[in-house]
C-alpha cells in the first residue's frame, strides 16, 4: 500500500476488525512484528510504501517495510 503518514504519529497492522476492536493486530519492531505488539512510530511526514510479510517465506520473522517515496 502507498499512503501518506504524519511524522510523530504511530500505526499498527490489524485484521478481522468485525467488532471494531484491536483483537488481531501486529506491531512493535517493524523488523520483527509480534501479535499485540506496540505501535510503530513514523519518523517524518511523507508518502510511504508499506509492505507486510506475514508468511515468513522470506524470513523467520513476521515483518514489514516502510519506505519513504
Contact 39, 27 (CB under 8 A): yes
Question: For the chain, which residues score pLDDT lower than 70?
Answer: 17-20, 22, 56-59
pTM above 0.75, yes or no: yes
pLDDT of amino acid 17: 66
* pLDDT at position 8: 97
pLDDT at 56: 65
Q: Residue 67: its pLDDT value, please?
A: 96
Give me the phi and psi of 50, to 5 degrees please.
-115, 130
The mean pLDDT of the chain is 89
Query: What's the rounded Cα separation, in Å, for the pair 19 and 29?
Result: 26
Amino acid at each position: 500500500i502507498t499512503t501518506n503518514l504524519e511524522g510523530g504519529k504511530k500505526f499498527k497492522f490489524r485484521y478481522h476488525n468485525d467488532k471494531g476492536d484491536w483483537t488481531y493486530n501486529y506491531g512493535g519492531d517493524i523488523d520483527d512484528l509480534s501479535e499485540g505488539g506496540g505501535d510503530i512510530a513514523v519518523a517524518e511526514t511523507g508518502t510511504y510504501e508499506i509492505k507486510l510479510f506475514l508468511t515468513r517465506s522470506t524470513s523467520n520473522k513476521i515483518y514489514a517495510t516502510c519506505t519513504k517515496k
